[in-house]
Structure 1
Amino acid sequence: MTSSRPQRADAARNRAALLAAAADEFAERGMDASVADIARRAGVGKGTVFRHFPTKDDLIAAIVLDRVDELTAAGDRLLGEADPGVALLAFMTAAAHQRQQRDLSFLHGAGDVDPAVTGARERMYRVIHDLVDRARDAGAVRPDVTGADVILLMCAPNYVAGYVPDASPDLWRRYLGILFDGLRPQGAHPLPAPPPTLA
């Protein structure tokens, strides 16, 4: 009997190549990226794309899932870090670095139609809340900072750096440093409004 393992390995490689090609295509062309262009970039036929992802929405959802799952896995690992402040900063750095490599934030809303994306995002949010709770309990961040605050702030370093023409690719690190200093308890003043509640 012939083992199906090589076929599964080929399928996994094809899927990974398709997702990488699609992410690059969406990053360059936005939502107008076509399946034909994605297939061409991946070096496969359109039929291969549709075998893996029956619709464009399925493809978008898969890209978002990969990104969210990657951050959730990083957060899970960091929950074992001895220093909760270091763990939270490392997670925020990983999130900003992921976005710097390929900014696909505009796809996140498009992926919301998939219940798997919703579930994955909820798991990531729980991990972020756990990281923030640990950091707050350890006195590494100010006592009025919540997980929702950090979720909303995660994209800020890249967003700000994106306004600078021909910016250094590491400029986001400067703004992450400023942002994280703002989370620390030293010199903190009471915040003028309550934190948001994220669904």
Structure 2
Amino acid sequence: MAKPTGTKPMRSDAVRSRRQLMQAATEAFAEQGVEASVSDIAERAGIGKGTVFRHFATKDDLLAAIVSENQFSLAATGERLAETEEPADALMQFMTAAIELQISNRAFCQVAHGEAHDHPDVRNGLAALERITAELTDRARRHGAIRRDITGQDVMLLMSGVYQTASPLLASQPHLWRRYLRLVFDGMRADTPPLPGPAPQTETTPSSR
């Protein structure tokens, strides 16, 4: 039986250098944000800059790969919560995880608020996040755990808003965001007056462009 044709697998040393690169880039972007330099990332990984560019054509491609990995990991967390937790708990835990990621990872936060937003990898990761956020929100709404006029896009914006509200005081009060998340979530609960105006419309997924 003939072997399937396709892309040749990477050599073991290439696999190892890519793994080191991804780990170093993850740490550097989380700590320094999009300002992290390729030189610093290469030094952390113990490889040359040329090796970085053999794996990724540009720094933006490397950044997008790291951020999209974060996005899909967060989406996977949401999928697990949808299968294992009660609707209200699942949504609250997912919102908590999303805000914690924004706080702990500067690059993820910067991309979430506009940097490298148009890269295909980031847009695909964002689409995955929007899908699972909508699923968790719809599930909570169907079970009467949250108000009937809340949408997944509302929740996406609220998660960003909680971070932005607490961010000026994060250095001195690193857990302040939990106070605002609780205020937001309590406001999302059922048996409250209707919200004014229509729900927001997303402009971030590839299909909407």
TM-score by length of 1: 0.85
Runs of 4+ with deviation above 6 angstroms: none
Residue 71 of structure 1 corresponds to which residue in structure 2?
74
Cα distance change, pair 165–77 in 1 and its aligned pair in 2 (3 A): closer
Residue 16 of structure 2 corresponds to which residue in structure 1?
10
Report Cα offsets for 1:74-103 as digits up to 9, x if no partner: 111111034111000010010011111123
Residue 183 of structure 1 corresponds to which residue in structure 2?
188
Q: Equivalent pairs: percent with the same residue?
A: 42
User: Does the 8 Å CA contact 1:22/1:38 hold for their aligned counterparts?
Assistant: yes
Question: What is the aligned counterpart of 1:57 among 57, 60, 74?
Answer: 60
Cα deviation for residue 127 of structure 1 reads 0.9
User: Does the 8 Å CA contact 1:79/1:87 hold for their aligned counterparts?
Assistant: yes
Cα deviation for residue 165 of structure 1 reads 6.5
User: Does the 8 Å CA contact 1:161/1:167 hold for their aligned counterparts?
Assistant: no
Q: Secondary structure at the match of 2:47?
A: coil
User: Does the 8 Å CA contact 1:88/1:135 hold for their aligned counterparts?
Assistant: yes
Q: Does 1:116 align with 2:128?
A: no
Cα distance change, pair 6–112 in 1 and its aligned pair in 2 (3 A): same
Report Cα offsets for 1:89-119 as digits up to 9, x if no partner: 0100100111111232223434333323222
Q: Distance in 1 between matches of 2:131 and 2:170?
A: 36
Cα deviation for residue 5 of structure 1 reads 8.1
Residue 134 of structure 2 corresponds to which residue in structure 1?
129
TM-score by length of 2: 0.82
Cα deviation for residue 152 of structure 1 reads 0.7
Q: Distance in 2 between matches of 1:51 and 1:21?
A: 20
Cα deviation for residue 123 of structure 1 reads 1.9
- Give ranges in structure 1 of 5+ residues lacking alignment: none
Report Cα offsets for 1:123-151 as digits up to 9, x if no partner: 22111101000000011111110011001
Cα deviation for residue 25 of structure 1 reads 5.5
Q: How do residues 98-117 of structure 1 correspond to structure 2 at under 5 angstroms?
A: 98-104=101-107, 105-108=109-112, 109-117=114-122
Name the amino acid aligned to 2:111.
L
Residue 174 of structure 2 corresponds to which residue in structure 1?
169
Residue 92 of structure 1 corresponds to which residue in structure 2?
95
User: Does the 8 Å CA contact 2:90/2:136 hold for their aligned counterparts?
Assistant: yes
Name the amino acid aligned to 1:115.
P
- Give ranges in structure 2 of 5+ residues lacking alignment: 1-9, 204-209
Q: Distance in 1 between matches of 2:121 and 2:171?
A: 37
Q: Secondary structure at the match of 2:84?
A: coil
